[in-house]
Amino acid sequence: MTRTDEGVALSPHSQAVQRRRRRDMRLTLALTLPGLALVAVFITYPVVETVRLSFQSAGSFGNATFIGWSNFQNLTSDADFLRAIQNNLLFTVIVTVGTVGLGTLFALIINQRVRFWRIYSFLFFLPVIIPMTVIAILWANSLNPQYGWLTAMIHWVFPSFAPNGLLTDPSLAIYVICAVAIWQVSGFPMVIVLGGLRAIAPEIVDSARLDGASATQIAWYVSLPMTKDVIATVTLLQIIFSFKIFDLIQAMTKGGPGAATQVFGTLIYRDAFANGYFGYASAIAVVSTIAIVGISLVYLALIKPKQIERA
Amino acid sequence: MMIHKKAIRGAALTSALLLTFLVGCSSQGDGSTSKDGSGTLYIITQTGGEAKWMAAVTKIFEKKYPNIKVKMDTIAYAQLVAQAASLYTSDGAPDIAYFQTTMPGAAEMYKSGALETVDDVWKTSGLSDAVPAAASDLWSYKGHHFGIVSDTLWTPVVYYNKTLFAKAGIPTPPVQMTDDEWNSIIEKLKSAGVEPLSVGGNDFEAYHLVSAIFQTETTEKEYADALVDTFPNSGVDPKYSSGPMLAALQKVKKWNDDGVFAKGTAALTGGQATSLFEASGAAMWSEGSWGPAVMANNKATIDYGWFLYPSAGEPSKLQLANNSGVVIPAKAKNKVAAKLYLAMLAGVQGQELINGTAGLLSPRDDLSPDANAALPKQTKEALAQQSKLGTVNFWLPDTNVMTAVQTGFAKIITGESTPQQVADEIQRAAKLAHNKP
């Protein structure tokens, strides 16, 4: 760099660096612009439009009328909406804990390379790749109160338990769906955590083994602490996936019996497409979005962002 | 430098391809705009009876108009109703579409001019003079017809398995019965170890059942008010927290406590309830006038009869619904052919086919006596007794209210809610609908 009467002049090397930086910036913009355009069209615009609709009385078609906060006020007295809040939180907590716990356990077992570990790995992951609707129909038929094989088996062992069927009992139906979801999705955290376990340097595990640690002690004191970042990441993903649940419940029970398994997704679908109350359904969508964003932010604050970045 | 230029060219090409793909994704409509309707006529209807009937009409239509090729897509009822408003107003709208005056978005569609007026078709097909004035009014807005009423339904009735009734020692039941007669039937069925009633508790059949009981609990004035009170500007305030609706829901609870409903009713879909009855898993089945056509389609072999739901007061009546029909979306591409087709559909020949093909009922009163020959036996019996039994318009409130009734039924029979709580929810839904701007 040399000082001249016009100010500080850059050396040829610095000028070349600056030119390269500007070129890189232009290239970055050019490459990200299409993606940003897609985000604007398919994410930003629908979100803004949904928020706008939530303040309107809007049917399936035709003009919408601005009604202020009325939709949100009506939500507070909607028994089905209040039930959906409860069910969504219950489902999210149970399924997240269940899938991450079970997935981690499967990963630890498979990581031990027990006999036939490849077969176990395939069987644990198989439900993940089966379409959710197929899973839902499979289980709904198995639990049918009239001809379901699983219902017959349960009643053979426990004759007076849920006489009208598990999916017909409003106090049990949501838990049954949670169990199905856990069975279906556990393979996903399993593969993620397995990847984390495989990344642990073998020397660390070997030295723990040489020190006399058992397989369980190695898992508890070595493997799990070293994969906690991965587990934290997959937990956050599971929270988000669970909170957004729709297809499994819609296919199994449509939110019934009554409103016993109603969640935000099924309620939005019902109010928008079955009842034609798009404004009201949009209000539910806005509330559920705020809820999941809030939950995610709280989670991130608790587990510290650095862990997510590292994972 | 060369590498950066290549990368930028690559990004530009990718964007161009993406844009082309997105633009290309927009659907291309079928049909032509020729003066005589030559080309393709695109129809969307629901699966089941309507599809069979329109396929039969299409055969004779294409024979009469060889220059017009009909392309028909069928969609399951629930899916069609959910997407109808957006589908019929899109650029890919069909030329003819199945329509119900109660489906979501229906009122908005005909009020905003999204449907073609078809006064000329009503005239040329003679429909104006052949259907009740109430049916014509239902399909009119500001003096113009926005669609064609294609069939009449009554809903619901109770179909019963004659073999199971005989096994339980129950004589042939009267068509119009009292509550005591009903209770006696239930007791005998349960003593014989037979599940009494199969109904789609997680489907719209639940709403039909409640509406049937509701009608028997009302006075004439109360029922007339109920027919309009959930619609804006009707001038009648809804009252469902008490009175006939509460009485109807309390009856549902009593029936549940008495074991009337088959096991697992709250989770049954309409199809499952049908299968249960066809497999003799239940002695009775709650369904509408299309029930026998469904049974015939499923090749059910049971021998069955029918009667109306019981009443504590005035005898039950047949509840008629004329809310099913077809429309021409304003964005249809071949309106000329569409009107030709509708004229045939609504005319005597097309309407005689509906009886013969699909077991649905024509709303026309000028069909030949032979037109009913192909109807299922049970439907013919009901038709013959229609004037003796008496008819009322079916209660068709806002869809929000129908949903509240349907889910309320399940909540009562699972014990999740009391009849009063469900009545309050129905009232809340009715007020929301009534107060819609």
Tell me if B414 and A257 make a contact (CB, 8 A cut-off): yes
Kindly report the nearest CA distance between residue B365 and chain A, in angstroms. 33
Q: A309 or A185, which is more confident?
A: A185
Q: Do A34 and B11 touch (CB under 8 A)?
A: yes
pLDDT at B12: 64
Give mean pLDDT, residues B403-415: 96
Q: Which of these ranges, A24-28, A260-264, B130-134, has the smallest mean pLDDT? A: B130-134
Q: Is B344 helix (H, G, I), strand (E, B) or coil?
A: helix
Asked if B264 and A165 touch (Cβ cutoff 8 Å), the reply is yes
Kindly report the nearest CA distance between residue A165 and chain B, in angstroms.
6
Confidence of residue A33 (pLDDT cuts 50, 70, 90): very high
**Residue A19: how many other CB atoms lie within 10 Å:** 10
Instruction: Work out the average pLDDT over B309-316.
Output: 88
Q: Answer yes or no: do B399 and A30 touch at CB < 8 A.
A: no
Q: What is the pLDDT of residue B360?
A: 79
In whole angstroms, give the CA distance from residue B317 to residue B216: 8
pLDDT surpasses 70 at B32: no
Q: Nearest Cβ partner of A275 from B86, B104, B201?
A: B104
Report the pLDDT value the prediction gives residue B1, as an integer from 0 to 100. Answer: 46
Structure tokens at A19: 């030119």
Residue of chain B minimizing CA distance to A273:
B82
**Mean of pLDDT over chain A:** 90
Contact criterion met (CB < 8 Å) for B267 and A65: no
Residue B29 — pLDDT band, cuts 50, 70, 90? very low
Q: Does any CB of chain A come closer than 8 Å to the CB of residue B205?
A: no
Instruction: End-to-end CA distance of chain B: give it in Å, rounded.
Output: 62
**Bigger pLDDT: B231 vs A61:** B231
Q: Residue A163 to residues A145, A289, B264, B265: CA-CA distances in angstroms?
A: 8, 38, 8, 12
Whether B225 contacts B395, CB under 8 Å? no
Mean pLDDT to the nearest integer, B4-25: 60
CB count, 10 Å around CB of B250? 18
Choice among A28-32, A48-52, A109-113, A160-164 with the minimum mean pLDDT: A160-164
* Cβ under 8 Å to A: B residues 351-390: none
Is B276 an interface residue toward A (CB < 8 Å)? yes
What mean pLDDT is predicted for residues B332-347? 95
Among B108, B233, B277, most A C-beta atoms within 10 A, so best to mutate, is B108
Asked if the C-beta of B250 comes within 8 angstroms of chain A's C-beta atoms, the answer is no
Look up the pTM and report it: 0.84
Question: Which chain A residue has the Cα nearest residue B88?
Answer: A61
Note the pLDDT of residue B353. Answer: 87
Give the pLDDT of residue B26. Answer: 47
Distance from CA of B410 to the nearest CA of A (A): 5
Distance, in angstroms, between B394 CA and closest chain A CA?
A: 19
Torsion angle of C-alpha atoms A104, A110, A113, A116, degrees rounded to 10:
160
Closest C-alpha among B96, B164, B14 to residue B336? B96
> What is the pLDDT at residue B232?
83
By C-alpha distance, the chain B residue nearest A267 is B403
Q: Which residues contact B184 (CB under 8 A, 6 or more apart)?
A: none
Share of chain B above pLDDT 90, in %: 62
In this prediction, residue A186 has a pLDDT band, given cuts at 50, 70 and 90, of very high
Which of B265, B416, B437 is the closest to A57 by Cβ? B437
Cβ distance A62 to B112 less than 8 Å, yes or no, reads yes
> A31: which chain B residues are within 8 Å (Cβ-Cβ)?
7, 11
Lowest-confidence region among B57-66, B243-252, B356-365: B356-365
User: Mean pLDDT, chain B, as a whole number?
Assistant: 89
Is B411 within 8 Å of A257 when comparing Cβ atoms? yes
Q: Is A170 on the interface with B (CB under 8 A)?
A: yes
For residues A258-272, average pLDDT: 95
Confidence of residue A142 (pLDDT cuts 50, 70, 90): very high
A239 neighbors A296 (Cβ within 8 angstroms):
yes
Tokens of B361: 């009922």
| Interchain pair A30, B12: CB under 8 A | yes
Q: Cβ contacts (< 8 Å) between B7 and chain A: which residues?
A: 27, 30-31
In the three-class reduction of DSSP (H, G, I as helix; E, B as strand; rest coil), residue A191 is classed as helix
pLDDT value for A223: 92
Mean pLDDT of A63-83: 93
Residue B416 has pLDDT above 70, yes or no: yes
Tens-digit pLDDT profile for residues B81-90? 888 998 999 9
Q: What is the 3-state secondary structure (H, E, C) of A14-71?
A: HHHHHHHHHHHHHHHHHHHHHHHHHHHHHHHHHHHHHHHHCCEECCCCCCCEECCCHH
Q: Is pLDDT of B134 > 60?
A: yes
B13 touches chain A (CB under 8 A): no
- Model confidence band, residue A6 (pLDDT cutoffs 50, 70, 90): low
Judge whether residue A8 has pLDDT over 60. yes
- How many residues are listed for chain B in this entry? 437
Please report which confidence band the pLDDT of residue B427 belongs to, taking 50, 70 and 90 as the band edges: very high
Element housing A234 (H / E): helix A228-243
Label the pairing between strands A56-57 and A65-66: antiparallel
Residue A86 pLDDT class (50, 70, 90 cuts): very high
Helix or strand (DSSP H, E) at A224 = helix A224-226
Q: Which residues of A touch B282 (CB under 8 A)?
A: none
State how far the Cα of B200 lies from the Cα of B114, in Å rounded to an integer: 34
Distance from CA of A63 to the nearest CA of B (A): 8
pLDDT of residue B383: 79
Confidence of residue A62 (pLDDT cuts 50, 70, 90): low
- Quick check: A137 and A251 in contact, CB under 8 A? yes
In our burial notation (b when 16+ CB lie closer than 10 A, e otherwise), range B82-93 reads: bbbbebbbeebb
Instruction: Taking residues B197-220, report their average pLDDT.
Output: 94
- A102 in reach of chain B (CB within 8 A): no
pLDDT of B79 higher than 90 = no
What pLDDT is recorded for position B10?
61
Taking the CA of residue A240 and the nearest CA in chain B, the distance in Å comes to: 27
Q: How confident is the model over B30-44, as a mean pLDDT?
A: 81
